[in-house]
Amino acid sequence: MRVAMYYNNNDVRVEDMDASKPGAGEIVMRTEASGVCGSDVMEWYRIPKAPLVLGHETSGEVVEVGEGVEKFKPGDRVVATHHVPCNTCYNCLRDNHSACDTLRSTHFHPGGFSEFIRIPAVNVDRGVFLLPDEVSYEEGSFVEPLGCVVRGQRVAGFQPGGSVLVMGSGITGLLHIQLAAAQGAGRIVATDVHGYRLKAAIDFGADEAVNASEDIAGALREANDGRLADYVVVCTGAPSALQQSLELVERGGSVLYFAPSEPQVKLSVPFNDLWWKGARICSSYAAAPADLMLALELIRSKRVNVADMVTHRLPLAETGRGFKLVEQAGDSIKVIIEPQR
């Protein structure tokens, strides 16, 4: 089978690899759609592990099942997720599934940017979901990123009516905007440095979009009767945004750090100011199965519109181009690789 092998952001090669047969409890999925995630182009994280096949936002059709598999059969349309928890450890029992060691070590073989994926038994058991007839493969590939957003807003303690600031209007920022609106947010203000993405923020539900170089605090106060944001969601790893977020949260509000930064980045916390505000700082990584199931229902019911977020659909041979589009963060929102093309 063909795979897109990652060496670095400028070197993604289509190579041949033997397709795996499913073992006991496993399935093989023919990959129909696989989204390029911002984390796929983080070279500081990816290059030490290269060469490898990336891609974890995947959907497709089951083509073969291993011994003992009863939940799925050939021909089923499914979405597969790479990270699944054990459900029995200290962290899982405290509803902190994404801190589970099992979740942080599970994956499928070889990755979403390949014609076929062998999905291990533990993933089949709790990380593969049937796609409803009305959900396309393309839409199904959004289940994993939207599930992460669902978890993030849950961790931040989102409540209807609260004002929201989304810093960074790439794909995750736009999903946060849509989910916040679907959950009854008050005013939603978005920021970015790219005009294309600021327009997209408005198109997908933000009440106001502000260039990150402008007076964000002033825009928040004007939108919220003199108040800052009840929920600040930081969807960029830019050090300036990480720091500035602490100044933009309202008293008693929450700052959610949703995106990683480079390893050397450090944050200086104005402790007394933060203490006086009574603000909460939290972070969120990955998603639990329940978050993924809710994400799938949000997509099925059209409460979150993911279909219109796709700006580029590329064949497997152009995966490298897809990586560059995501890395450059220009006139693209979601890049989908279609490995069967």
Q: What is the pTM assigned to this prediction?
A: 0.97
**DSSP, res 281:** E
- The per-residue pLDDT for 330 is 85
Residue 116 backbone phi and psi in degrees, to 5:
-140, 150
User: What is the C-alpha end-to-end distance of the chain, expressed in Å?
Assistant: 12
d(CA 84, CA 97): 8
- The per-residue pLDDT for 341 is 95
Q: Is the predicted pLDDT of residue 13 greater than 90, yes or no? A: yes
Domains of the chain, CATH where assigned: 2-147+287-338 (3.90.180.10), 157-283 (3.40.50.720)
- Percent of the chain at pLDDT > 90 equals 98
**Antiparallel, parallel or unpaired: β 310-315 and 229-234:** unpaired
Q: SS3 for 110?
A: coil
> Where are the extended beta strands (E) located within the chain?
2-8, 11-16, 27-35, 57-65, 77-80, 116-119, 128-130, 164-167, 188-192, 208-211, 229-234, 249-257, 280-283, 310-315, 334-338
- The per-residue pLDDT for 329 is 87
The 10s digit of each residue's pLDDT in 258-271 is 999 999 999 999 99
Note if the bond before 110 is cis, omega within 30 degrees.
yes
The residue-averaged pLDDT of 169-189 equals 98
- The per-residue pLDDT for 285 is 96
The residue-averaged pLDDT of 247-267 equals 96
What per-residue string of b and e applies to 299-308 under the rule 16 or more CB within 10 Å gives b? bbeeebbbee
- The per-residue pLDDT for 187 is 97
d(CA 174, CA 179): 9
